[in-house]
Amino acid sequence: MTKNIRITAVIAVVAVVGAMFAVYHLSTTNTPRSSDLEPVQGSVSQAELDQATASLKTAISAAGGASFDFQALPTYGHYANFGIVKNVNEVKSVGLVDEMAIRFSGKTDNDNAEVDPKTGQVVSFHRVADYTGDAKTQAQLEQTVRAFLAAIYPTFAQVEPTLTFENNSKTGRPEGSNYFYTWNDLAYSDELPDGTEAERAPFIQVGITSSGYIFSYNNTVDLYRNALQEFRVTQ
């Protein structure tokens, strides 16, 4: 009888200890701290989705020539051409800025877009090129590009003097030629702390066909400059 009582008591003690360990384990190990979570893992709010969609519609409308066929993705993602990293050694680097892009997909794999939820600014869009229409002169194409930038990036006139312009074209396509008007911020790397670098220099680029159809747009200038200001505040 005494032996059975002792066995029962031991079992009860083990059960209590096990329960206490389980509670402790759930309250610590399995519950992530907010500081351990990356913002890109979160879902995009409906308000952000609405703002981003409206901004992208405005940009596509300004580019002209096609209906709006983009759908916002429900979670944050990484930007294609943005990032500041610190080099740990020759083979390893770590990111220093949060990437919270609102991304869009389109009808094809070539249709995609990115919007910055912090500012509502369109960072990029890409869509299938349309070569319908007569070829335009280089002067006419540049005029179209500048009118587009003035419509969706009002501060371009103030920013342009700080950038270096280059005009690259791809010719020889059966359906027509593509022209890329690009402005690079070549001085940005000088503003970064030692040991850090941008994944790509900040730039603005507009892709346009020889007939004047704008099929691509990239603008990481404000992303990088805003990130630099935030980075300086935390130092």
Which single residue is written with the structure tokens 């940009």?
59
What Rg, from alpha-carbon coordinates, does the chain have? 26
Work out whether strand 164-170 and strand 214-219 pair parallel, antiparallel, or are unpaired. unpaired
Work out whether strand 93-95 and strand 121-126 pair parallel, antiparallel, or are unpaired. unpaired
Residue 90: the pLDDT is: 60
206, 213 contact by CB (below 8 A):
no
Does the CA dihedral 220-224-230-231 come out positive or negative? positive
Amino acid occupying residue 230:
E
Instruction: Quick: pLDDT tens for 8-59.
Output: 444 444 444 444 434 334 333 333 322 333 444 578 999 999 999 999 999 9
Instruction: Quick: pLDDT tens for 192-218.
Output: 878 788 888 999 999 999 999 999 999
106, 69 contact by CB (below 8 A):
yes
- Beta strands across the sheet bearing 121-126: 71-72, 102-105, 112-116, 121-126, 214-219, 203-209, 178-184, 164-170
Kindly state the tokens that stand for 19. Answer: 């329960």
Instruction: Quick: pLDDT tens for 87-120.
Output: 666 655 556 676 789 999 999 998 999 999 999 9
Instruction: Quick: pLDDT tens for 151-184.
Output: 999 999 999 999 999 988 777 677 889 999 999 9
121, 73 contact by CB (below 8 A):
no
Q: Report the distance separating Cα 216 and Cα 204, nearest Å.
A: 11
184, 166 contact by CB (below 8 A):
yes
Q: Report the distance separating Cα 53 and Cα 40, nearest Å.
A: 19
